A and B are shown apart, each in its own frame.
Chain A
Amino acid sequence: MNVRASYAAFRQQMTHFLTDPQWIIPSLIAPFMFTMVVLMIYQDVDGPVVLQAVLGGGVLGMWGNTLYSSGWSISYDRYNGTLEPLMTSPTRLMDVVAGRSVWNTLIGLSNAVLVFVIAEIMFRTGVGLANPAEFFFILIMTLASLASIGLVFSAFFVLTRASSVLMSSLEFPIYVVSGAMFPITILPDWVIPVSYILAPSWGVDAMKIAALDGYEGIGLGIAGSLAVMLLLTAIYIIMARWLFKKIERNVRSYGTITRF
């Protein structure tokens, strides 16, 4: 991996974020809306349900941000005509996207924090965490796993601009199957395997164990869920590398790189 190029891409993404007001939509407004809706639904309920709702709102915001920013990462270059100079540089496109994903991940973290702040200040939910340190560690790991899914999606955006269809169609199902809003265990049997191959499902499970006293979830405990999530994240990264290589070769053969 070209760390310097990834860091340059991180800085470039950060500068774009700070100078382009449109990023406020996925990064601040969307999680704010999620949280508002969820907390309004649960405003007369106390205890763990509220915490689960707040957690769900946070994860939804993070997921929406990952999906939007990973897709836009390549689409912006395609639209802007910068994909050509990126492709003709010696840096692998995945290294550039990885740097941008790290920035998006940090913004995802700010989403999560924002959700908790909104819950506390506006709704006075009195949310308490059973194991705050563990919880935040798992939160950061979950964000990293989301970023790795973002990398896989970005590869498809190199292939075709039509990948936005994939992005849009994945947004809402993941809210359900990742267990962000509802425990996975209450989902129909046929959906559960889909949840299990999504790394964030395991991260959400571990976060809930850390946050809620007596929550058992899938049953592997914090360490087990975390291990599965990290394993799946590693698989996503390997998959992303393979996809980038294949797709770059494909676009070099068919000449689709500059269509926008």
Chain B
Amino acid sequence: MSPPEDAPPIVVERLTKVFPGKRKRPDKTAVDDISFNVEKGEIFGLLGPNGAGKTTTIRMLTTMLIPTSGVAWVLGKDVTKEEVAIRKRINLVSGGERGLYYRLTGRQNLRFFSELYGIDPKTRDRRIEELLQLVDLTESADQRVEDYSRGMKQRIHIARSLVNDPEVLFLDEPTLGLDPEIAREIRALIRRMAGMGTTILLTTHYMFEAEELCDRIGIISEGRLVALGNSLELKDSVNNATVIHVETREDPYEAIETLEGMDGVIHVNSDRVPGRFIVRIQVDHGSDLLTEVNEAMRGLRVLRIGYDEPTLEDTYISLVSGHER
């Protein structure tokens, strides 16, 4: 079986990965019967909590893992049987600091990985200069990677992933652990790559990142794809939920405990920001709980209370917690 000639660069059909249990432990289904496509030039995001199956999906699509069942084609090639043909035309960036040879310079790392892709020396040297420019590391190209800052390491990671001019790029939490300024630079870089026609599949924990970057988002929970669409479609998909937004001066932890046990409450999320606490309570659309919420906040200085539109994060929490129930 093969996909049609004009099939999108990534086609996933009923993909499943089960890791056999060891020492009498049960088998673990990491990815459970998921299907989706990624169109050419699209930035597609996979969102999900830790252990949801995002990285396992990426590993299957980058040929590092063989699916237990189902099929996936990347650039028209089967990820199980045609791994070498796929590897020539894709690349992968994993988040975090690992994945580079620290004793080599940035340029030596790029050169080494270029050779693994069999790029001819003239093209290799030209491309390395272009990539160093793209990630703004020309001046530090001859420093050892061990002397790079975290942001520089992540930028050289991205440069490394572009040595073979990939048609499809997989980014597994590319801004993990980066400070906001560097994360913003990386996001700008990702947009630039998509602008150059690269198809990008990325995983992230950051909702704003997914909302800012992705044309479409798949939400994955416990190995299953629970929602798929652009951020507006996803928000619409949970329009049966309403959000009550509360801001207090004091820590509302007791009120949160009360609210979490209340009928009609889907999820309660709280954040501390300078000078106040923000509580977002997702409630069933039909439940008018404003009075009850006000009651629960009794004794606290409430700065603001009212209904709000669900954000992508609210949608995500609603979908994931709904699925986990």
Q: Which residues of A contact B (CB under 8 A)?
A: 2, 4-5, 7-9, 11-12, 15-16, 19-20, 80-82, 84-91, 96, 249, 252-255, 257-258
- Shortest CB-to-CB span from A2 to chain B, Å, is 7
**Residue interface bits B142-180, CB-to-A below 8 A is 1, else 0:** 001000000000000000100000000000000000000
**B-side interface residues toward A, CB under 8 Å?**
17, 19-20, 56, 59, 62-66, 83-84, 87-88, 90-92, 94, 96, 98-104, 108, 111-113, 115-118, 144, 160
B158 nearest CB across to chain A (Å): 12
Partner of B116, one of A8, A81, A255, A257: A8
The residue that A90 contacts in the complex, of B19, B84, B103, B104, with Cβ under 8 A, is B84
A16 with B116: CB separation less than 8 A: no
14 A-B pairs in the complex with CB atoms less than 8 angstroms apart:
A11-B112, A15-B103, A16-B101, A16-B104, A20-B103, A80-B99, A80-B100, A81-B98, A82-B99, A86-B116, A88-B92, A90-B118, A96-B116, A253-B66
Q: A80 near B98 (CB under 8 angstroms)?
A: yes
Given contacts A5-B115, A7-B115, A90-B88, contact A82 B101 (CB under 8 A): yes
Whether the Cβ atoms of A80 and B102 lie closer than 8 Å is yes
Q: B87, A90: Cβ atoms under 8 Å?
A: yes
In the complex, chain B residues whose CB is within 8 Å of the CB of A15: 103-104, 108
| Neighbouring A residues of B88 by C-beta, 8 Å | 90
When the two chains form their complex, are residues B101 and A5 in contact, meaning their CB atoms are under 8 A apart?
A: no
Cβ of A88 and Cβ of B62 under 8 Å apart? yes
When chains A and B are docked, how far (Å) is the Cα of A254 from the Cα of B19? 6
Q: Which residues of A contact B87 (CB under 8 A)?
A: 88-90
Q: Could you say which residues of chain B place their CB within 8 Å of the CB of A254? A: 19-20
User: A81 contacts which of B56, B83, B94, B144 (Cβ < 8 Å)?
Assistant: B94
A12 surroundings in chain B (CB, below 8 A):
101, 104, 108, 112
Contact A81 B65 (CB under 8 A): no
The reply to whether B117 and A89 contact each other, CB–CB distance below 8 Å, is: yes
Closest chain A residue to B80, Cβ basis = A252
Contacts of A81 in B (CB 8 A): 94, 96, 98-100
Given the known A-B contacts A80-B98, A90-B88, A253-B66, are A85 and B113 also in contact in the complex, defined by CB atoms under 8 Å? Answer: yes
Given A12-B101, A81-B100, A258-B64, 19 further pairs, Cβ under 8 A: A2-B118, A4-B115, A7-B115, A16-B104, A80-B98, A80-B101, A80-B102, A82-B101, A84-B64, A84-B99, A85-B99, A85-B113, A90-B116, A91-B118, A249-B66, A252-B64, A252-B83, A255-B59, A257-B64
Contact A85–B92 (Cβ < 8 Å): yes
Q: Complex formed: what's the CA distance from A257 to B83 in Å?
A: 16
Residues of A with C-beta under 8 A to B102: 80
A222 CA to B83 CA, complexed, in Å:
45
Asked if A255 and B63 make an inter-chain contact with CB atoms under 8 angstroms apart, the answer reads no
Contact B101 A255 (CB under 8 A): no
A7-B115, A255-B56 in contact; A82/B100 too (CB < 8 A)? yes
B contact residues around A253 at 8 Å (CB): 65-66
Please measure, in the bound complex, the distance between the C-alpha atom of A258 and the C-alpha atom of B59, giving whole angstroms.
10
Of the residues B17, B19, B64, contact of A87 by C-beta under 8 Å: B64
Report A-chain residues with C-beta under 8 Å of the C-beta of B115.
Answer: 4-5, 7-8
Contacts of A90 in B (CB 8 A): 84, 87-88, 116-118
A-B pairs, top 8 by smallest CB distance, nearest first, are: A81-B98, A8-B115, A89-B116, A81-B99, A90-B87, A91-B116, A19-B103, A90-B88
The residues of B that contact A258 with a CB separation of less than 8 Å are 64
The interface residues of chain B lying within 8 Å CB-to-CB of A16 are 101, 103-104
B115: nearest chain-A partner, CB-CB: A8
CB of A92, distance to nearest CB on chain B (Å): 8
The CA-CA distance from A7 to B64 in the complex, in Å, is 24
Contact residues in A for B19 (Cβ distance below 8 Å): 254-255
- A5 surroundings in chain B (CB, below 8 A): 115-116, 118
B118:A88 contact, CB within 8 angstroms: no
Inter-subunit contact B160/A85 (CB<8 Å): yes
In the docked arrangement, what's the CA distance between A96 and B83, Å? 17
Evaluate contact between A252 and B63: CB separation under 8 angstroms.
yes
CA distance A7 to B111 in the complex (A): 12
Q: Select from chain A the residue with minimum beta-carbon distance to B160.
A: A85
Bound together, the chains give a CA A81 to CA B157 distance in angstroms of 12
**Closest CB of chain B to A247's CB: distance in Å?**
13
| A8 / chain B contacts, CB cutoff of 8 Å | 111-112, 115-116
Instruction: Report the separation of the CA atoms of residues A15 and B145 in the bound assembly, to the nearest whole angstrom.
Output: 13
Residues of B within 8 A of A88 (CB): 62-64, 87, 90-92
- For residue A89, which residues in chain B have a CB less than 8 angstroms away from its CB? 87, 113, 116-117
